Structure 1
């Protein structure tokens, strides 16, 4: 009887495990598509969600140089410092267990992805953590980068975790960008925030691209190689991504490491640059995270790192290591799982990871305020 029980358990466990098996697309081959009905997804409702995404295009100009300058016109000294690219129309993919159940638009078109880049940059820190280059995210960054970037009474307190959670309050100037001039308050006199005493690291989350670029700079010096090369070798080649994506820095953002000139990339595109990528490669990246850091059977990112990356930060329950979290805070999508997390970028670029439903959802150029409603429509299609 004991052996029969064990056999039944193994059969059930095997069936359960099989039901969780994901499909992983090969490079340069057609991505497997399945009918939503095969996964008990209501086809009509899913089509309504796609139609919603198609009809709620981001309202900004398709000439992203114009959209950027308009979107950040309140910033003093703001200018375009790196490459930009005119964008396409709405596009997206919905994966269920890795298979495509819906897609729209030109999914092979390469476009800017803005702050979605931050989640890729965070992953470069994760790879350094897994490789032992950064043994602890509580280490002071000044132990690794000692050229003065993290010198002084304030900046010397900053840890890797502070940079990753965007609560470092790093003070200074990098590549011509001044920390105090990046995304300033919409009210108040310029001198009120220009000469404000920096907040204590770890206490207040501030979305600030200069400080994100400081993280990219620090990781470049820690890896001693350019971030696009790290991303290509450790992630993109292994997940079968295309060769069309590019990760840019500002035109003048060069640093010397071991006698070699290297470009230090940006973590976003609000002054140009950042990650230029197609929808399908974004979906592959999302699928890697859906499968807890493994591509097929190969471990690329540790589960330990992913859990650290999606843990809420003390100053902002909706933010981890450059991933947004659907916890009950200011950015909660009502009625949807609190375990959902996502990368988000200017203009409605999103990579959403819904582990409970085995979903990856990618949107391009969806009006940003509509993402919660869109995801609710996707959820309504799941039986």
Structure 2
């Protein structure tokens, strides 16, 4: 959910969980290995290389991986030139198990928006009025553009914890319709505000634009070409059947890594172009309202989970508890990890959740030291900043009241019993076997077989 967006949701979740194929590759920062790279694979096993083949020292890389594994990184994958060169010690046990990537889901929604834009089905500059059914939402909300939703500049009021809690405990009727009842704090397009409802509304708009359920479109256009099978993952939907955009894609880390590699290769997967380079170029550009944010991707050092010591071209998929894909084009380097926090803070639990730079700072410090030609000077040990917290940014009970049809955020005619003349499934009806909040486990649960 981003740097501060997941603070109190993290607290709530914590309380609930006590062989290489070489082809021509991209240019490298290391001399003498410019032509080395691995072919993309849609099968279950990625292409691999020894660290020394791509300019890193095996022992120092192993030290970086061992460090991350002591900080609650349950799965760690390091790729250079598309070659898997390093894995965490628990990868064999965790790589095929679906894990909630939380707000990294937003970046997957961005990819789907890009595919729809590439197909001529979605106009990024258009107001969502062009896609919403007649009579749904007022003129102010219908004037929000698709680009406003992609850049988190819809203007909607924010209460990160209370926006998300009714998705974690799936009682809410229709998240997109509820978004249309959230007051606007700012005119659309003017101010960055990290809204969860914003992305649920975007998912619904994409669904309307392509004319089919979002997950059906995603499976055919995005997941199938990468070899991600429908039974691999669980992506939660609300009781109206609309897919959550803000979080709740539970996907195995080995599949999550494929999505990261797709992005790091500018939307190409072998000979196939799945998402256009032009869209991804726009997605990585900072929005006028926030230098750290593009189209549902974080970008730049010191933004979200990115350490200040990283190269200037770094960009990320980023989710609560440090579910991350770090992509550094200048190094042709992609790092994917999942877990649940694990960073160390002198401020205890509150600092662990808020000051999340410690883990990436210390990991990348070790990783860059493994390069034969270190790409960055050693930044020194992490120095933790003081805590900065505005609880009002995260909690607004009106979001919860709206689910029950009460309070100023309620959309007329939408509550836990009925919503906008749409039949609602019972609570928990969409939940897949064995899937709960963080992970899918057990017989019959989704996962790579």
Do the structures match in fold with TM over 0.5? yes
Question: What CA deviation, in whole Å up to 9, does each residue of 1:60-94 have, x standing for no partner?
Answer: xxxxxxxxxxxxxxxxxxxxxxxxxxxxx711211
- Using the TM superposition, give the Cα deviation of residue 25 of structure 1 relative to its aligned residue in structure 2, in angstroms: 2.1
- What is the SS of the residue equivalent to 1:264? coil
Aligned match for 1:227, one of 214, 217, 227: 214
The 8 Å contact of residues 156 and 184 in structure 2, kept in 1 or not, is answered as no
Partner of 1:46: 61
Aligned match for 1:182, one of 163, 178, 188: 163
Partner of 1:284: 258
- Using the TM superposition, give the Cα deviation of residue 95 of structure 1 relative to its aligned residue in structure 2, in angstroms: 1.1
Change (3 A) 1:237 1:92: same
Question: What CA deviation, in whole Å up to 9, does each residue of 1:328-372 have, x standing for no partner?
Answer: 668752232111111011121001112111121111115261223
Change (3 A) 1:327 1:50: closer
Aligned match for 1:162, one of 110, 124, 148: 148
Change (3 A) 1:18 1:168: same
Aligned match for 2:133, one of 134, 139, 146: 146
Question: What CA deviation, in whole Å up to 9, does each residue of 1:117-171 have, x standing for no partner?
Answer: 1000011110111001123x2211111213444432x213211110011110247
The 8 Å contact of residues 205 and 316 in structure 1, kept in 2 or not, is answered as yes
Larger strand proportion, structure 1 or 2?
Answer: 1
- What is the SS of the residue equivalent to 2:225? coil
Instruction: Tell which deviates more after alignment, 17-26 or 231-240.
Output: 17-26
Aligned match for 1:125, one of 88, 94, 113: 113
Partner of 1:112: 100
- Using the TM superposition, give the Cα deviation of residue 109 of structure 1 relative to its aligned residue in structure 2, in angstroms: 1.4
Question: What CA deviation, in whole Å up to 9, does each residue of 1:16-70 have, x standing for no partner?
Answer: 9971643212423x3332211111202222112111211112xxxxxxxxxxxxx
Partner Cα distance (2:137, 2:364) in 1: 40
Partner of 1:24: 40
The 8 Å contact of residues 145 and 222 in structure 1, kept in 2 or not, is answered as no
- Give the alignment's Cα RMSD to 1 decimal: 2.9
- Using the TM superposition, give the Cα deviation of residue 241 of structure 1 relative to its aligned residue in structure 2, in angstroms: 2.2
Aligned match for 1:353, one of 318, 322, 327: 327
Partner of 2:185: 198
Aligned match for 1:97, one of 72, 81, 91: 81
- Is the counterpart of residue 240 in structure 1 residue 227 in structure 2? yes
- What does residue range 274-353 of structure 1 map to in structure 2 within 5 Å? 274-327=248-301, 333-353=307-327
- In structure 1, list runs of 5 or more residues that go unmatched: 1-12, 58-88, 173-177, 185-193, 255-262
Partner Cα distance (1:180, 1:158) in 2: 23
The 8 Å contact of residues 266 and 277 in structure 2, kept in 1 or not, is answered as yes
- What is the SS of the residue equivalent to 1:212? helix
Partner Cα distance (1:196, 1:230) in 2: 31
- Using the TM superposition, give the Cα deviation of residue 374 of structure 1 relative to its aligned residue in structure 2, in angstroms: 2.1
- Using the TM superposition, give the Cα deviation of residue 180 of structure 1 relative to its aligned residue in structure 2, in angstroms: 11
TM-score by length of 1: 0.73
- Using the TM superposition, give the Cα deviation of residue 303 of structure 1 relative to its aligned residue in structure 2, in angstroms: 0.7
Partner Cα distance (1:195, 1:100) in 2: 44
TM-score by length of 2: 0.63
- What is the SS of the residue equivalent to 1:19? coil
- Is the counterpart of residue 266 in structure 1 residue 244 in structure 2? yes
- Using the TM superposition, give the Cα deviation of residue 196 of structure 1 relative to its aligned residue in structure 2, in angstroms: 7.3
Partner Cα distance (1:330, 1:226) in 2: 30
- In structure 2, list runs of 5 or more residues that go unmatched: 1-26, 166-180, 344-355, 373-449
